[in-house]
Amino acid sequence: MRTALVTGGTRGIGAAIAKALQDAGYKVAANYAGNDEAAARFSEETGIKSYKWSVADYDQCAKGVAAVEADLGPVDVLVNNAGITRDVMFHKMTPEDWQAVINVNLNGIFNMTHQVFAGMRERKFGRIVSISSINGQKGQMGQTNYSAAKAGEIGFTKALAQEAARFGVTVNAICPGYIGTEMVMAVPEAVREKI
């Protein structure tokens, strides 16, 4: 039985992915960063163990992946789903707004993938899937930080896929449109109607 790890896996798209992987017969671990109550509820409802760390922190990722692998075995499937928004028009965007989104959404996929890639190469099998966004393809007003990070995920995916293919490791990105998750529903309705 293969092991799958889903970042941002206790809510929204990540929770749906984690459940689908469980239904498909995988051993699944769900990472989360902050909402202890939601993670506990998710784990109680699904039986999928949740692990808390920030994907923006390389050392936390190393420790987190080590804990998952100690419990479930080597990670065969990594779904880089964790993401945040700090939407604001560019002229009002602070360096903190920029860095927070880049650190989680873009640096996070490096931090996580780097932990599992060597093992996948050695075992000649791996699946790396990053959840990018349509806004990484077309851009979105008020999301220069998010759009830049999600476009970066696409570039990361295209480059790593070329390195990984000969080792039996596939690397793909999915670019969803707007899905009624907690993150999207936090956008004011008047704005959602226009996008």
Place of tokens 């707007």: 178
Contact 38, 10 (CB under 8 A): yes
β strands within the chain, DSSP E: 3-6, 27-32, 49-52, 75-80, 126-131, 169-174
Q: Which residues contact 161 (CB under 8 A, 6 or more apart)?
A: 170, 171, 172
User: Which conformational region is residue 54 in: left (phi greater than 0), alpha (psi within -120 to 50 degrees), or beta?
Assistant: beta
Q: Which residues contact 47 (CB under 8 A, 6 or more apart)?
A: 22
Q: Please give the Cα distance from 122 to 116 (Å, whole number).
A: 10
Catalytic residue among 26, 51, 146, 178: 146
178 annotated active-site? no
Active site residues: 146
